[in-house]
Amino acid sequence: MLDKIFPKIHSEGYKFIVISVVITIVFYLISNFLGLLGLLLTIWVYYFFRDPERISINDDNYLTSPADGLILSISETEGPKELNLENKKFTKISIFMNIFDCHVNRSPCAGKVDNILYKPGKFLNASLDKASEDNERCYYKISNKIGEDVILVQIAGLIARRIVTETSKDNNLDQGERVGMIRFGSRADLYFENYQPIVKVNQKTIAGETILARK
């Protein structure tokens, strides 16, 4: 019960919580009203950086969501050219994370990290299609247990200014394992082959738990 009221905090959040507490104290010295606003800000910062435990299905026949958020689109497309996969066909699911969603990203499947590629870029609204090519982003190319490519792309958003990576090349991942996070509003794109989507546009997702596709 208490872990739902006071969830575990991601390490990236501690300094922001300290900053917001200091701001709250200063605001209270000015007026009670400003102090209340500072307190609400601190509560929001605390919950933004929450990092709850998640229980994945742990089944290679399914792909779980890499992010909390809202499904923006489901499409058939070429793979990311940044990974030299532009001549290969994939299904892509895009998930938008707003400022109230948990921003910890998780592996959609068990497998080996074949490549991690960071690309600097702009900070456009992450819900726009062109954000996939223009925004700051980080690619994770994962080979599942039968050698199929599953690609997760973290895309920074309008006010997101930092993509955090928590795994490395050649690491073996479990389904639902943490791979990183993006601060303050962003998007995750998932590319995969030989799975069938079982979700719909505008459906809410929970990272590590919501099943997106199956064999």
- In the chain, the amino acid numbered 12 is E
20, 65, 107, 186: the active-site residue: 186
Q: Which of 97, 105, 102 is nearest to 142 (CA)?
A: 105
Strands 89-97 and 186-192: antiparallel
The residue with tokens 């929450």 is 50
- Assess contact for 66 and 152: CB atoms under 8 A: yes
Q: Which of 191, 207, 206, 172 is nearest to 90 (CA)?
A: 191
3-state secondary structure 153-190: EEEECCCCCCEEECCCCCCEECCCCEEEEECCCEEEEE
- Assess contact for 105 and 179: CB atoms under 8 A: yes
Does 65 qualify as catalytic in the annotation?
no
Report the distance separating Cα 46 and Cα 40, nearest Å. Answer: 10
Residues taking part in catalysis: 186
